[in-house]
Amino acid sequence: MNVSHRTQVAIIGAGPSGLLLGQLLHRSGIDAVILERQTAEHVGNRIRAGVLEQVTTELVNEAGVGARMCRDGLVHDGFELLIDGVRHRIDLKGLTGRSVMVYGQTELTRDLMQARQAAALSTYYEAGEVAVHGYDGARPWVTFKHGGAEQRIDCDFIAGCDGFHGACRASLPAGSFQEFERVYPFGWLGVMSDTPPVNDELIYASGPRGFALCSMRSHVRSRYYVQVPSTDKVSQWSDEAFWDELRLRLDDKARATLVTGPSIEKSIAPLRSFVLEPLRFGRLFLAGDAGHIVPPAGAKGLNLAATDVKLLAEAFIGHYRERSNAGIDHYSARCLRRIWRAERFSWWFTRLLHRFPDDGPIIERFNRAELDYLLHSQSGLRTIAENYVGLPLDFGDQG
CB 304 within 8 A of CB 350: no
Q: Is 166 in the site for ligand APR (CB under 6 A)?
A: yes
Catalytic site residue 204?
yes
Q: Which of ligand PHB, ligand APR, none sits in contact with 23, Cβ below 5 to 8 A by type?
A: none
Number of residues binding to ligand PHB, judged by CB under 6 A: 10
Number of residues binding to ligand APR, judged by CB under 6 A: 28
Only one of the segments 4-12, 120-128, 292-300, 306-314 lies at the binding site for ligand PHB (rule: CB under 6 A); that segment is: 292-300
Catalytic residue of the set 225, 296, 319, 320: 296
Binding flags for ligand APR, 103-142, as an x/- string (CB under 6 A): --x---------------------x--x------------
Q: Is 289 in the site for ligand APR (CB under 6 A)?
A: yes
Distance of alpha carbon 308 from alpha carbon 222, whole angstroms = 29
Output Rg (C-alpha) for the chain, integer angstroms.
Answer: 22
Chain-centroid distance of CA 184 in Å reads 17
Binding flags for ligand PHB, 188-227, as an x/- string (CB under 6 A): --------------x----------x-x-------x----
Distance of alpha carbon 321 from alpha carbon 51, whole angstroms = 33
Chain-centroid distance of CA 302 in Å reads 3
Q: What angle do CA 295, 101, 78 make, to 5 degrees?
A: 80
Q: Is 295 in the site for ligand PHB (CB under 6 A)?
A: no
CB 223 within 8 A of CB 203: no
Q: Is 36 in the site for ligand APR (CB under 6 A)?
A: yes
Only one of the segments 181-189, 222-230, 271-279, 298-306 lies at the binding site for ligand APR (rule: CB under 6 A); that segment is: 298-306
CB 105 within 8 A of CB 113: no
Q: Is 38 in the site for ligand APR (CB under 6 A)?
A: yes
Burial category of 376 from C-beta neighbours within 10 Å (exposed 0-12, middle 13-18, buried 19 and up): exposed
- Shortest Å distance, C-beta 223 to ligand PHB: 4
| Closer residue to ligand APR (CB): 9 or 250 | 9
> Diameter of the chain by CA atoms?
68
Distance of alpha carbon 35 from alpha carbon 2, whole angstroms = 17
Only one of the segments 74-82, 113-121, 164-172, 227-235 lies at the binding site for ligand APR (rule: CB under 6 A); that segment is: 164-172
Q: Is 35 in the site for ligand APR (CB under 6 A)?
A: yes
Q: What angle do CA 361, 367, 370 make, to 5 degrees?
A: 140
| Closer residue to ligand PHB (CB): 130 or 203 | 203
Catalytic site residue 388?
yes
- Shortest Å distance, C-beta 377 to ligand PHB: 23
Q: Is 163 in the site for ligand APR (CB under 6 A)?
A: yes
Residue nearest to ligand PHB (CB): 215
Q: Distance of CA 354 to CAs 83, 245, 267, 292, 386, Å?
A: 11, 15, 19, 21, 21
Q: Distance of CA 122 to CAs 25, 118, 144, Å?
A: 13, 11, 15
Strands of the 51-52 sheet, one edge to the other? 51-52, 100-102, 74-76
Q: Is 309 in the site for ligand PHB (CB under 6 A)?
A: no
| Closer residue to ligand APR (CB): 159 or 203 | 159
Catalytic site residue 300?
yes
Strands of the 149-154 sheet, one edge to the other? 2-6, 149-154, 141-146, 128-133
Beta pairing partners, 321: none
Catalytic residue of the set 16, 184, 292, 300: 300
Distance of alpha carbon 56 from alpha carbon 101, whole angstroms = 9
- Shortest Å distance, C-beta 300 to ligand PHB: 8
CB 169 within 8 A of CB 286: yes
Distance of alpha carbon 125 from alpha carbon 42, whole angstroms = 10
- Shortest Å distance, C-beta 313 to ligand PHB: 26
Catalytic site residue 185?
no
Q: Is 78 in the site for ligand PHB (CB under 6 A)?
A: no
Residues 6+ apart with CB under 8 A from 281: 135, 136, 172, 176, 177
Catalytic site residue 135?
no
Applying CB under 6 A, the residues found at the interface with ligand PHB are 49-51, 202, 213, 215, 223, 296-297, 299
Which amino acids are annotated catalytic? Answer: 76, 204, 296, 300, 388
Applying CB under 6 A, the residues found at the interface with ligand APR are 12-18, 35-38, 43, 48-49, 105, 127, 130, 161-163, 165-167, 288-289, 301-302, 305
